[in-house]
Amino acid sequence: PASVPAQIEGMRRLRQRSGEGLASLQARGITAWFGQHKVLEQVSLTMPAGSITALIGPSGCGKSTFLRILNRMHELVPSAALAGEVLLDGEDIYDPAKRLIDARREIGMVFQKPNPFPAMSIRENVLAGLKLTGTRATKATKDDLVESCLRRGGLWNEVKDRLDAPGGGLSGGQQQRLCIARSLAIKPRVLLMDEPCSALDPTSTRVIEETMLELAEEVTIVIVTHNMQQAARVSDKCAFFLAAQGTPGVIVEHGDTQAMFGNPQDPRTEDYVNGRF
């Protein structure tokens, strides 16, 4: 059998053709504040349909804030303010006519720390989003959904015999894949992942990377990562964020991942991707 990196490379090549029928996400002129503190300035980025986009950059430069703006979580912070727009397939997700619940349903999120409902069963965890979004389903439909989401989350084989066991009993990496399965159940068009592997061991990290590469066939993915090798392994597009001392975060450089890593145009990008700051 091929080595894991060779397999991953193979999967990347395999899916370079698609993107058809999937959603693009476009941020235009995003400026964000927490009170008086401006944390992002004029950030524009296109995340093409079916791509995996990696957001990289040092801590505190606004990557998580940007990601939360992409599914309207920024507005949960009372002091937060925002200018600019986010277009999902050309439609403004902040349009007052669009319900928040619909924006959230279309744009799922997975966080750094796996956060399944620990006392709920694996099965109930996968189905949890249906209640929140008021989606009705029969038992048979639910069974199918649980299986398909767990399969696509790369967890089915490990849990199919204990779907009624509590989600909190799984390992960290399994819990994170359960969270991925849970977000898939509401059929998002975009999946946002904020450092999804930072709390995991290298083996779990690789399993999640493979899962992501397969998921990119059906959903557009945006991932924040501090792991440059991971960004290089999984992403098609990359954006380098930076906030110079006392100034808001900006995108210094963005483009195809291979070009960003192989031939960075800005010396700061070159230093960062080579681990020099």
Q: Return residues touching ligand ADP (CB under 6 A).
A: 34, 39, 59-65, 77
Minimum Å gap between C-beta 265 and Mg ion is 25
**Residue list 70-89, contact with Mg ion (CB under 5 A):** none
d(CA 34, CA 30): 14
Least separation, in Å, of the C-beta of 14 and ligand ADP? 31
55 or 208: CB nearest Mg ion: 55
| Nearer residue to ligand ADP within complex by CB, 33 or 261 | 33
Q: Which is nearer to Mg ion, 94 or 111 (CB)?
A: 111
Shortest distance, position 63 Cβ to Mg ion, whole Å: 5
Nearer to Mg ion, 64 or 183 (CB): 64
Asked if 225 touches Mg ion (CB under 5 A), the answer is no
The C-alpha atoms of residue 166 and residue 125 are separated, in whole angstroms, by 9
**Binder among 53, 64, 176, 225 for Mg ion (CB under 5 A):** 64
Nearer Cβ to Mg ion (22/179): 179
62 interacts with, out of ligand ADP, Mg ion, none, CB within 5 to 8 A per kind: ligand ADP
Span near Mg ion by CB under 5 A; candidates 20-28, 64-72, 142-150, 200-208: 64-72
Q: Which of Mg ion, ligand ADP, none does residue 65 bind (CB under 5 to 8 Å by kind)?
A: ligand ADP
Q: For residues 40 and 103, which CB has a smaller minimum distance to ligand ADP in the complex?
A: 40
DSSP letters along the chain, please? ---HHHHHHHHHHHTTT--TTPPPEEEEEEEEEETTEEEEEEEEEEE-TT-EEEEE--TTSSHHHHHHHTTT-GGGSTTEEEEEEEEETTEETT-TTS-HHHHHHHEEEE-SS----TTSBHHHHHHHHHHHTT----HHHHHHHHHHHHHHTT-HHHHTT-TTSBGGGS-HHHHHHHHHHHHHTT--SEEEEESTTTTS-HHHHHHHHHHHHHHTTTSEEEEE-S-HHHHHHH-SEEEEEE--TTS-BEEEEEEEHHHHHHS-SSHHHHHHHTT--
- Total binding residues for Mg ion by CB under 5 A? 1
Q: How far is the CB of 133 from Mg ion (least distance, A)?
A: 26
Name the residues that contact Mg ion, by CB under 5 A: 64
